[in-house]
Amino acid sequence: MNEVVVGLHRISHALRKLGLNGLASLCVLANRLVFGCYLGSGARIGKRVSLAYGGLGIIVHDKAVIGDDVRIGAHVVIGGRSKMRDVPVIGDRVVIAAGAKVLGPIHIGDEAVIGANAVVVADVEARTVVAGVPARVIKREIDIRRYHDGLPLAGPTPETTPETARLRKAS
């Protein structure tokens, strides 16, 4: 089901880029009604992003950027804050646990882990675990493979990939 949700988003994103905003909105609405999630058509979502339980309760702001190999739990909000224009940029291989809120003009570093129900309103360094309300650092210099399923067990990965750098420049 995850592939359908993300696939509908990709269609919506492509339609928006073509200037077909009405059709893009219909795809967003279909995702919202059928799967119970809101993925703004302007959001840039990387490759192999996994949405828990078919995206149940997930909200992603229209301007958000999400890197590759990101795992997003149920009922996660990635969005803006009042009176602030920018929204989060999520790096590659990040794990965002169920119920977390990632809000405002912040950057989540590559291979970071955000704990369940955390409220993140400040930047998170790469390879760091944060939790709590507001989120604070619990652990540094982690091995993401202990938290993120589906990653190869070969050597360390770079802190920033060219894809993440490209997405950040474009936002």
pLDDT for residue 168 is more than 70: no
pLDDT for residue 156 is more than 80: no
User: Which domain range does residue 124 map to?
Assistant: 42-150+158-170
Name the domain count of the chain: 1
Distance CA 41, CA 11 (A): 9
Residue 8 lies in a domain: no
pLDDT for residue 84 is more than 90: no
Residue 32 lies in a domain: no
Residue-level pLDDT at 155: 47
Residue-level pLDDT at 170: 64
Residue 115 lies in a domain: yes
Q: What is the mean pLDDT of residues 89-101?
A: 96
Distance CA 8, CA 41 (A): 9
CA nearest to 130, candidates 121, 139, 143: 139
Residue 116 lies in a domain: yes
Residue 21 lies in a domain: no
Residue 37 lies in a domain: no
Cβ contact 160:90 at 8 Å: no
Share of the chain above pLDDT 90, in %: 72
Distance CA 22, CA 84 (A): 26
Q: Note the pTM of the prediction, 2 decimals.
A: 0.83
Residue 3 lies in a domain: no
H helices within the chain, ranges in order? 2-17, 21-30, 162-170
Q: How confident is the model at residue 147 (pLDDT cuts 50, 70, 90)?
A: confident
Residue 48 lies in a domain: yes
Domain CATH code at residue 110: 2.160.10.10
